[in-house]
Amino acid sequence: MPTPPPGFNIGAVERETGLSKDLLRMWERRYGFPRPARDPNGERQYSLDEVSKLRAIRRLMDIGMRPGKIIHQTLDELNALADTRSAVRKDEIAPPLERNLLDLLKNHDAAALQQLLAQLVMRQGLQQFVLESVTPLNRTVGDAWMRGELEVFEEHLYTEQVQVALRAAINAFPRTPSGVPRVLLTTFPNEQHGLGLLLVEALLVPEVVHCVSLGTQTPVEDIRRAAIAHKADILALSFSGAFPLRSAIDGLDMLRGLLPPHVTIWAGGEMTRRVRRTIPGIVLIPDLASTIQALRSWRAHRVPLNAA
């Protein structure tokens, strides 16, 4: 039996695509795709073409498409489908900044990227940089990743460099331990997107707000304890579009019940655009630009517990 060309074993495909081994075997049975070769030990060996197609299917599943509907399409058809789903069509001229950023990412030019972002912060100021540059750049990077134009490691470089630029600019502001309100920032477990927290902190610090960020993925019970320990007036939580709506609402309801009423809970991020009803005791802020308004209304209506 001719030895099959070197391929990916099922463990490697699971890591590469985020699709579980069970799902891969089930699709093989149900749809006849993927159809891996077998090595002399009978182990599945997936080809590079199959892995690329599985990645494209996974990206479309992430924006809600059902695998059964797309699994028999070719890689080109899947990428064309991804194109129609991403806001900026390939042939539309993206603004120069976004084109420049994508070029630097694809050329892996981390130094030039860092310089570009640092210059933008200097020129625009932190709050304007957050609202007018980072938000559209996020979308550009997300859509390019969705179209398969950017690799995951290039998306990671983008996130790291934006975080470096934001962190440096935030740290340039004097720390305000007596700043009021005291805002605690984090995400629920399984929410890896931390940029939203940094964007909110970058908007608030110039407004003399005392921010404490726990980073991402803090268990709900620990969020309760941290809010008490840090005497938080406001808890700011971020939910990306990838976060399941039901778990977010259940978690927020539970947290509202656990936290003392004087702690205000802000929930923001793309997921909050899908919330169709008010959640008692939760301030939903889908739009980053509304953060300052939310701060002003808090200051107008609230006397913090630890005010002098």
**Interface residue list for ligand B12 (CB under 6 A):** 18, 58, 62-63, 135, 138-139, 141-143, 145-146, 155-156, 159, 190-196, 199-200, 236, 238, 240-242, 266, 268-270, 285-286, 288, 291
Q: In angstroms, give the least distance from the CB of 227 to ligand B12.
A: 14
Nearest in space to 55 (alpha carbons), one of 150, 148, 143: 148
**Cis upstream peptide for 2 (omega within 30°):** no
Q: In angstroms, give the least distance from the CB of 263 to ligand B12.
A: 14
Q: In angstroms, give the least distance from the CB of 197 to ligand B12.
A: 7
Distance between CA atoms of 307 and 14, rounded to whole angstroms?
52
String of DSSP letters for 131-200: IIIIHHHHHHHHHHHHTTSS-HHHHHHHHHHHHHHHHHHHHTSPP-TT-SSEEEEE--TT----HHHHHH
Q: How would you list the strands of the sheet with 210-213, edge to edge?
A: 210-213, 182-186, 234-238, 264-268, 282-285
Query: For the purposes of burial, counting CB atoms within 10 Å of the CB of 139, is it exposed (0-12), middle (13-18) or buried (19 or more)?
Result: middle
Cβ distance to ligand B12 smaller for residue 67 or 196 = 196
Q: In angstroms, give the least distance from the CB of 269 to ligand B12.
A: 4
Distance between CA atoms of 58 and 64, rounded to whole angstroms?
10
Q: In angstroms, give the least distance from the CB of 181 to ligand B12.
A: 13
Nearest in space to 27 (alpha carbons), one of 74, 75, 80, 70: 70
Distance between CA atoms of 34 and 50, rounded to whole angstroms?
6
Cβ distance to ligand B12 smaller for residue 45 or 185 = 185
Cβ distance to ligand B12 smaller for residue 36 or 269 = 269
Cβ distance to ligand B12 smaller for residue 139 or 231 = 139
Q: In angstroms, give the least distance from the CB of 43 to ligand B12.
A: 25
**Cis upstream peptide for 181 (omega within 30°):** yes
Mapped onto helix, strand or coil, the DSSP state of residue 211 is strand
Cβ distance to ligand B12 smaller for residue 45 or 259 = 259
Tokens of 191: 């929410």
Cβ distance to ligand B12 smaller for residue 180 or 234 = 234
Report yes or no: 227 and 197 within 8 Å, Cβ to Cβ.
no
Cβ distance to ligand B12 smaller for residue 7 or 269 = 269
Tokens of 227: 């809010």
For the beta carbon of residue 203, count every other beta carbon within 10 angstroms: 20
Q: In angstroms, give the least distance from the CB of 204 to ligand B12.
A: 9
Q: In angstroms, give the least distance from the CB of 58 to ligand B12.
A: 6
Cβ distance to ligand B12 smaller for residue 45 or 150 = 150
Residue nearest ligand B12, Cβ-based? 241
